[in-house]
Amino acid sequence: MEKIRKNYPDIAPAGPTYSRGVRVGNLLFISGCTARGTEAQGKPAMEQLRVTLDRIARIMNDEGGATSDIVKITTFVTSISDWRAHQEEQEALFAEYFQGDYPANTLVEITALAEDGLDVEIEAIAELS
């Protein structure tokens, strides 16, 4: 099966050693998105979450899909206690972007992300028609 590797430089630029997305058949694997390089970098986690979800939604749109096509995400945060302290805002953002069509989600606390000022990273797997 053909593998199509894509980068989305106008949406969520990837680093030099990986692809932002890889499409295999009707599956799309989106590597971890963050607020890197945006005004939200270094800001509170919920501002970063909005940028991150927006980037993922834009990638899905670019592929002819929608966030409702996402079947699995993994959310990495640098502080679960901070994440939980903003649970209502976090739930509102997920509701806005997924509109009730929520994917499976694993929440993982990690020590740090790739750059200072990044506290949220989300990777996704989608099934496209």
Pairing of strands 3-6, 120-127: unpaired
Q: Taking all residues of the chain, what is their mean pLDDT, rounded to a whole number?
A: 97
Q: How confident is the model at residue 75 (pLDDT cuts 50, 70, 90)?
A: very high
Domain residue limits, the chain? 3-127
Give the model confidence (pLDDT) of 87-129 as tens digits: 999 999 999 999 999 999 999 999 999 999 999 999 999 999 8
CATH superfamily of 3-127: RutC-like (3.30.1330.40)
Pick from 53, 52, 56: which is nearest to 29 by CA?
Answer: 56
Give 38's Cβ-side CA count (13 Å radius): 20
Q: What's the pTM? A: 0.97
